Amino acid sequence: MTTATLSLGKVQKKIQTKIDSIDMAIVNWKVVCFAGIFMCLALLIFYVLQITDLTRGSYSLTNYEKQISQLSDQNKNLEISFAENSFMDSALIKIQALNFQKATSIKYIQILDDSAKTVPVNKNI
């Protein structure tokens, strides 16, 4: 066990000397910290801008859906109006073709109760 511990200690010392031989001055830690803080702030600002844009898009989408529903209602009303107008136009054309005229006075014909009973009914029709 002592031999294993001693050999492990030698390996650790070799690793430590190799680590110490690497020049840590190559990495400027102030620059690394500054870059990390700058990236965090940049990502935070980017996040806020994205959330703002998402909220604006959602609000616009809601407004567009309201406009679509209003336009759909107006379209239905216009279709109904068009159908009524086209029916009235075709009815007026047919009335004029049959030479109908506007009634100026109304005269009623009185039918006595006795005459309705004496009229023969044709059952073959």
Q: What pLDDT digit, counting tens, does each position of 65-92 carry?
A: 999 999 999 999 999 888 888 887 788 7
pLDDT of residue 107: 83
Does pLDDT of 35 surpass 90? yes
This prediction's pTM: 0.42
Distance between CA 53 and CA 47 in Å, rounded? Answer: 10
Instruction: Tell me the pLDDT of the chain averaged across its residues.
Output: 82
pLDDT of residue 62: 94
Overall residue count recorded for the chain in this entry: 125
Distance between CA 41 and CA 48 in Å, rounded? Answer: 11
Q: For the chain, what is the radius of gyration of the CA atoms?
A: 49
DSSP state, residue 27: S
pLDDT of residue 112: 77
Does pLDDT of 58 surpass 70? yes
**Residue 25 pLDDT level (bands cut at 50, 70, 90):** low
Read off the pLDDT of each residue in 42-55 and give the average, rounded to a whole number.
Answer: 97
Helices (H) and strands (E) in the chain, counts: 3, 0
